[in-house]
Structure 1
Amino acid sequence: MEHVSSSFGLDLLYKIDRTLEESGYKMITRFSYYGREKETEEIDFLLQSQIEGLIVMPCHGVYYNPRILKLILEGFPVVVIDKKMEGISVPSVRTDNKQAIKTLVKYLWEQGCRKLGFASSEIVGTSSLQERKSGFYEAAVEYSIEVLPECELKFDLDIYNHSAGEENIEKAAAYLTQVKGKIDGIVCTEYSLVPAFMEASKRIHASVGEDIQICCVDGPEDLTIPHMKQNEIEMADKIVKLLTAQINGAGAGKDILVPAILKEEK
């Protein structure tokens, strides 16, 4: 796994562990913390531990880890989660990211928003973010929504500090200043981007969360803004079924999309 948090991953991890245990397996969990070398190191550790199968959330990036590719080519049981490895025949389970963002755009449209901006961290090489971007633009066309310039914030690698970084706050403030008076909604690809916009809004009095609606994918349980919650329980069930099928010798070359759940504004 890259990383888990209360926003996404904890329920998924717990459910996979419980379901595997019910099937007679024990799960060993390791984290890459977004590092490619660390990812390779942990995969090697797991293989030395004589695992029978691998569930992997690959690191962000343009290139795939050669160690993962080697395992797939050798026929070792592998299930990829959260991302799609384009051009590689490997079972994967992930959220229907395109539909998740389209649902958010529809929700904002129903609330009267007609001029939207799209905010994301760097998208290059990250299939989940690419799919969310595609969903945004498809929905904008479908609902005749005016699209404002995009805002790209820095991907935050700090797994302990959940507050917004100063660089991202400044970028968000500059963006809000640029689109002032022209925008009534912002769609964020991830919850981690929201704090930067909220803090920037406070500093420059941009009314984000009031005159400007903001929404995202995932978030903590007490999140009050509209967001799409990934269905971690259903994802976990499908992940375990795909993995155990491979361990038992059955073919499992499937790419499974799981619908996210809309959580409306509280």
Structure 2
Amino acid sequence: MKTRIEQEFVNYIEKYVSKNGHHLIIKITRESQFEEADAIEMFRKMDIKGMIIFPTEKETYNDAVLRLSLDKFPFVLIDRYMENILTYSVTSENKAGTLEAVSYLLNKGHKHIGLISPIITNTVTDERAKGFENAFLKRGTTINKNLWLTLSFNDISQNKTPKLIKEFLISKPEMTAIFTMNAELAVYTHLAISSLKSETGREIELLTFDSPGISGVTFIKQDIEKCSKKTVDLLLEQLEGIYEPKRMYVPVELILSERELLEKILT
């Protein structure tokens, strides 16, 4: 619940659950698979009708989630899904959105584009990384993964991350633009870029997935309300006795900053 995106998910899910005559009970697992497994067990003992699960950011699947799938218990995974295992899931078009964003930077003339990402351990970061790569492949341009900075979850904090990113930027003087995987990393990257600019005058363009709430930053916008509604619809479908697992993708939109919009109008 630490990001605005997660808060919006809960807000809209509760809206559509209530609209359909049901009640939403929430358990926050704080990215712990143990807490996630305990929550699933607790809910099953409470004899709840179905679950919506925002899976933890881990490389391995949670056995408790797999058991739900094997038992055909009504549940939907939201935002992330389990690769190679067919379950109900709803996620944004991460790959297509990142491809569009990075292509936008390439079309502006940027050749050396960096990537700031958490360690790639789930379908969201994996799809966004593939979208990044596909933007270069589509243009037949060589991609330089030495310009990628992947951070462990322990390294992502207000105290540590801006310093780590600034050191990374200093070590890559050829980099002129950077894409961040999420809004939190965009905020830390913006701090690092601003600090570097004040010291050296160096300009680095920043683009990110999800709004960081920073003026002048172009970002990819997810349709959280549509994701939430589709998730509730898929859960209701199962409660009605239908079981046809499917993976649904919701389109995203590239939102240009005010400056970018003005430049586009003038050109």
TM-score bracket relative to the smaller structure? 0.7 to 0.9
Q: How far apart are 1:164 and its partner, in Å?
A: 2.4
Aligned with 1:164 (options 158, 175, 190): 158
Give the Cα–Cα distance (whole angstroms) in 2 for the partners of residues 109 and 176 of structure 1. Answer: 19
Closer/same/farther in 2, CA of residues 117 and 91 from structure 1, 3 Å limit = same
Q: Which runs of 5+ in 1 are unaligned?
A: none
Q: Secondary structure at the match of 1:135?
A: helix
Report deviation, 1:241.
1.0
CA contact (8 A) 2:9 2:228 kept: yes
1:36-90 deviations in whole A, cap 9, x for unaligned? 1111222222222221001001111111111111111011001011112012121
Structure 1 residues 227 and 89 mapped into 2: Cα distance closer, same or farther (>3 Å)? same
Deviation at 1:22, TM superposition (A): 1.6
For residue 34 of structure 1, give the secondary structure of its aligned residue in structure 2. Answer: coil
User: Aligned residue for 1:177?
Assistant: 170
Structure 2: distance between partners of 1:261 and 1:184: 23
Aligned residue pairs total 256
What pairs with 1:111-260 in structure 2 (closer than 5 Å)? 111-123=108-120, 125-148=121-144, 149=146, 150-155=148-153, 164-166=158-160, 168-180=161-173, 182-205=174-197, 211-221=203-213, 223-260=215-252
Matched-pair contact (CA < 8 Å) for 1:115–1:146: no
What letter corresponds to residue 243 of structure 1 in structure 2?
L
Equivalent residue letter for 2:8: D
Amino acid in structure 2 at the alignment position of 1:189: M
Task: Give the conservation status (yes or no) of the 8 Å contact 2:184–2:212.
Answer: no
Structure 1 residues 250 and 157, CA, compared in 2 at 3 Å: closer, same or farther?
Answer: farther
Pick from 13, 16, 19: which aligns with 2:16?
19
Q: Is the 8 A contact 2:75 2:88 kept in 1?
A: yes
Partner deviation per Cα, 1:132-184 (whole Å, 9 max, x = no partner): 111101101223555342111232698xxxx6232x2232122111211x121
> Does residue 90 of the first structure (1) align with residue 115 of the second (2)?
no
User: Which stretches of structure 1, 4 residues or more, deviate above 6 A after TM superposition?
Assistant: 206-210
Unaligned runs of 5+ in 2: 259-267
Alignment match, 1:29: 26
* Maintained 8 Å contact 1:242/1:252: no
User: Is the CA contact (8 Å cut-off) linking 1:164 and 1:195 kept in structure 2?
Assistant: no
Mapped partners of 1:233, 1:157: distance in 2: 31
Change (3 A) 1:5 1:202: closer
Residue 208 to residue 103, structure 1, CA distance change in 2 (3 Å): farther
* TM-score (norm. length: structure 1): 0.88
* Contact 2:221 2:252 survives alignment (8 Å): yes
Q: Kindly, what percent of the aligned residue pairs are identical? A: 24
Partner Cα separation in structure 2 for residue 207 and residue 109 of structure 1? 27
The structure in which a higher percent of residues are helix is 2
SS at match of 2:40: helix
